[in-house]
Amino acid sequence: MTKVFTKPDKPRLFFKHMMREMFKLGFTSIPIVAIISLFIGAVIALQMALNFDSPLLPKIYIGLATREVLLLEFSSTVIALILAGKVGSNIASEIGSMRITEQIDAMEIMGLNSANYLILPKVVALVIFNPFLTALSSILGIIGGGLLVDITQVIRIVDYINGIQFVFNEFYVFYGIIKMAVFSIIITTIPAFYGYYASGGSLGVGQSSTRSIVASSVFILVFDLILTQLLLQ
C-alpha cells in the first residue's frame, strides 16, 4: 500500500497517464451514469407522487424528496456501487492479467515501482473525475423526475419545480461529492490490490475481479454509514 502512494518516478509521465485513465475509466462512464440517473430520477419522482398521496402533504414535498434522495444517497452511493462493477472489473482484470503474464515482474526488474506506476494514476484520476459524475447524476435525476411529471401529470410541474428549490441545503451537494471522492478511492484501490496479487492463471484473474467487486461494494456501504455519521450528525 505504501508503495502505491509515493511520488511517481516521472511526474510528467504520471500526468499523462492520469489523463488517459481519466478518459478510460471516468469519461466512458458518462453514458451509463446518465441513463441510470434519468430513469431512477423518474422512478423516484413517481414513487414519491404515488406514496405521498395525502391531502395533508403539500405537493411540493414530492420534488423536495426526489431531490434529497438523489443528492444524499443515489448520486453518490448507488452510482459508486455501479461504478464498482464497471470500473472495478476493468482495473482488477487489467492489473491481474499483467501480473500473471509477468508484465509486472518486467517492470520491477527495470527498477520501476510498478504498484505506484499502475495504480496511482487510476486513483487520482477517479478521485478527481467521479465527483463530476455525482453532480451530473443529480442534475439528470432531477430532470428525469421533471420529465416524468411533465409527461404523466401526476402532479403539476410547477409544484415539482418549487419542491426542487424548496429549502435547499448546499451542504448536501458537498456531502455527496465528499462521499464520492472517498468511494472512488475504494473502487480503484481494492480491485487494483486484488489484481496486483492475482495468481493462478486466467481463472485466478476472473476470481480476483469478482472478489474485488464484492469487497469494494461492502466497503462502500460501510463507509457510507461512517461518513453519514461523521458529516451529517
Partner 1 sequence: MIEVKDIYKSFAGKEVLKNVSAVFEQGKTNLIIGQSGSGKTVLLKCIVGLHEVDSGEIWFNNNILFNKLSFKEKKEMRKQIGMLFQGSALFDFANVEDNVRFPLEMFSDMSREEQDERINFCLKRVNIINANKLFPSELSGGMQKRVAIARAIAFSPKYLFCDEPNSGLDPRTSILIDNLIKEITEEYKITTIINTHDMNSVMEIGDKVVFIHEGEKWWEGSKDNILHADNKELNDFVFASKMAKTLKGYVEKSS
Interface ranges with partner 1 (CB under 8 A): 9-10, 13, 97-98, 101-103, 105-106, 108-112
> Which single residue is written with the C-alpha cell 430520477?
41
Residue 99 CB, shortest distance to partner 1, in Å, is 11
| DSSP class per residue in 161-201 | HHHHHTT--HHHHHHHHHHHHHHHHHHHHHHHHHHHT--SH
25 alpha carbon, distance to own chain's centre: 11
Rounded CA separation 96/212 (Å): 11
- Of the two residues 17 and 67, which places its CB atom closer to partner 1 in the complex? 17
Which of 224, 51, 21, 35 is closest to 140 using CA atoms? 35
- Of the two residues 9 and 150, which places its CB atom closer to partner 1 in the complex? 9
Residues 6+ apart with CB under 8 A from 78: 40
Residue 127 CB, shortest distance to partner 1, in Å, is 22
- Of the two residues 6 and 153, which places its CB atom closer to partner 1 in the complex? 6
- Of the two residues 6 and 51, which places its CB atom closer to partner 1 in the complex? 6
Residues 6+ apart with CB under 8 A from 71: 138, 172, 173, 175, 176
Residue 106 CB, shortest distance to partner 1, in Å, is 4
- Of the two residues 169 and 202, which places its CB atom closer to partner 1 in the complex? 202
Residue 86 CB, shortest distance to partner 1, in Å, is 19
- Of the two residues 2 and 54, which places its CB atom closer to partner 1 in the complex? 2
Residue 124 CB, shortest distance to partner 1, in Å, is 18
Please tell me whether residue 56 adopts helix, strand or coil conformation. coil
Which of 223, 203, 31, 22 is closest to 130 using CA atoms? 22
Residue 122 CB, shortest distance to partner 1, in Å, is 13
